[in-house]
């Protein structure tokens, strides 16, 4: 499965790359800015997405909106990562079109399992 992971924190991107490179069924593409992520959404087809919510513009919400408006990717699952742990923030993201919301910090080693569960359920 082809996954796009976008987070402006390079350390987190590196951890996720290390954690997912051993997964034979996941082909990971990463970006360290919303702009780079938007370019990838517009130019490639993915099976799912993982976006950090709080990034410099465009933020994760803008990226979620772009995916939902994309002809090639509009129906694909989107997992949002946020440090805002209150239930209302997660509910708001789900209403905006997110498939799943996970709290930061998350365990990079369990991310593959979460991605598989979300994509299979979608």
CATH number at residue 63: 3.40.50.2300
Percent of the chain scoring above 90 in pLDDT: 83
Can you tell me the mean pLDDT for 67-72?
93
Q: Number of structural domains, the chain?
A: 1
Percent of the chain scoring above 70 in pLDDT: 99
Please say if the pLDDT value at position 109 is more than 90.
no
When pLDDT is cut at 50, 70 and 90, the band that residue 92 belongs to is: very high
DSSP conformation letters of 8-63 = S-HHHHHHHHHHHTT-TT-EEEEESSHHHHHHHHHH---SEEEEESS-SSS-HHHH
Please say if the pLDDT value at position 85 is more than 70.
no
Structural tokens at position 11: 């350390």
Q: Indicate the burial class of 11 (C-beta count within 10 angstroms; 0-12, 13-18, 19 or more).
A: exposed
User: Domain span at residue 54?
Assistant: 2-121
Predicted TM-score of the model (pTM): 0.94
């Amino acid at each position: 499965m082809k996954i796009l992971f976008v987070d402006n924190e390079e350390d987190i991107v590196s951890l996720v790359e290390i954690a997912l490179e051993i997964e034979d069924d996941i082909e990971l593409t990463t970006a360290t800015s919303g702009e780079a992520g938007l370019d990838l959404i517009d130019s490639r087809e993915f099976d799912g997405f993982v976006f950090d919510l709080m990034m410099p513009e465009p933020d994760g919400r803008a990226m979620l909106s772009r995916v939902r408006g994309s002809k090639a990717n509009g129906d694909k699952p989107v997992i949002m990562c946020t440090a805002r742990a209150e239930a209302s923030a997660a509910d708001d993201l789900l209403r905006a079109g997110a498939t799943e919301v996970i709290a930061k910090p998350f365990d990079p080693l369990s991310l593959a399992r979460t991605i598989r569960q979300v994509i299979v359920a979608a």
